[in-house]
Amino acid sequence: MDGIEAKGPARAIGRNASNSATACAHANIALIKYWGKADEGLVIPTTSSLSLTLDGLSTQTTVEFLDGDETLAGGDGARADGDEVRADAAGSDGSATKSDATPDTISDTVPDTLTIDGVLQHGTSLARVSRFLDLIRERAGIAAPARVTSRNTVPFGAGLASSASAFAALAAAASRAAGLELSGRELSRLARRGSGSACRSIYGGLVKWNAGHDDATSYAQPVECPMDLAIIVILISAKEKPMSSREAMRLTMRTSPLYPAWVRASADDMTRALAAVAASNLDALGEVVEANALGMHASMMAARPAVIYWLPQTITALSAVRDLRKHGYSAWSTMDAGANVKVLTAAADAEQVASELRDRLPGQTIEIHHIGSGVRVVE
């Protein structure tokens, strides 16, 4: 069956039903990366990936399916006082103000509303959420538009996995609000359709996304981890990245002569990473984690035109981590689609490693993140 199996009966959204749910999800950082899709529509990756779900970096999202009597533009809360209008990659110059948000600026074909951190969204981010909600409406047999309100503790689009926590929280909140009772695997498959990495944020701790070959076989599952790990984030830039990971992975796949080599190496990287985890060997894990991420960035840099997320401070941070190893610390770098560097280390050493990094990287924001839990519906 292509899709999510509803455990509960599909139901119409009625006036007296509770059509609203709130869910909270944490970001995850991949140790073995996902970079490239074998199937764009279904978000089937070219490689399996492995990640750690982290505490601290989270998204809380409320989804309310509106009944027929409520109008979207006029519904209370749809545009609460103080909300701004965010104009995104749809082509605006970003200068939209609250007064631009008249009801007729909301697309007829996309009648949902989306507010992220108090900013009403238009254009591509709203369209992406609406398309995702369509998957849920289809399965639940409802047609109601939704009001989606989201709060993040993750800087948006800065390569800190905001789309992972965002779509994991959205999948859980929206499916519950629509009356669907989904298993963890079904939720993971659903979240994957919103953003690939989101399928891993359904679970806490160490998580493997099995690439699979179709919708039913591509999902994440928890992996037992005998080590207590931590990730230290060196925040080099909280600005929205110059190119989305979606676009950058597409360009890398299409034009980089190094991409096939990275994909080939990735299967072996995964085997080595899982063996290192099972043996509680942090150095063996760290070595393959750092190599896998640098290989992914090498493949991006070889794209035409090149995708370079690195800033000068990125190199300084990567060197600082190598220097820590020379001084006997087990600390290993990884990077995603952005300039920030994340450092894998043992939870017990995290304070010490962070303090050594602060000494070497003065003025940089350096935060420790421990293991976080999976998605949960909170209301």
Binding residues for ligand DP6 (CB under 6 A): 30, 33-35, 43, 49, 163, 195-197, 245-246, 336-337
Q: Which is nearer to ligand DP6, 113 or 197 (CB)?
A: 197
Q: How far is the CB of 4 from ligand DP6 (least distance, A)?
A: 18
Cβ-based neighbour number of residue 33 at 10 Å: 27
Place of tokens 């896998």: 292
Shortest distance in whole angstroms from residue 236 CB to ligand DP6: 15
Give least dist CB 198 to ligand DP6, A.
6
Contact criterion met (CB below 8 Å) for 179 and 97: no
How many CB atoms sit inside 10 A of residue 376's CB? Answer: 13
- Give the residue with the Cβ less far from ligand DP6, 53 or 245: 245
User: Minimum CB separation from ligand DP6 for residue 241, in Å?
Assistant: 10
For ligand DP6, give the closer residue by CB, 7 or 254: 254
Nearer to ligand DP6, 11 or 246 (CB): 246
128 vs 137, beta carbon nearer ligand DP6: 128
Least Å distance, CB 31 to ligand DP6, is 9
CB atoms within 10 A of CB 268: 11
Query: What minimum distance in Å lies between the beta carbon of 118 and ligand DP6?
Result: 23
When the beta carbons of 49 and 62 are compared against ligand DP6, the nearer one is: 49
Do the beta carbons of residue 42 and residue 218 sit within 8 Å? yes
At its nearest, how many Å lie between ligand DP6 and the CB of residue 190? 13
Q: Which is nearer to ligand DP6, 250 or 360 (CB)?
A: 250
- Quote the Cα angle for 276-252-261, to 5°: 45
Judged by CB, which is closer to ligand DP6: 19, or 299?
A: 299
Kindly report the backbone phi and psi dihedral angles of residue 33, in degrees, each rounded to the nearest multiple of 5, phi listed first: -85, 155
| Shortest distance (Å) from residue 211 CB to ligand DP6 | 11
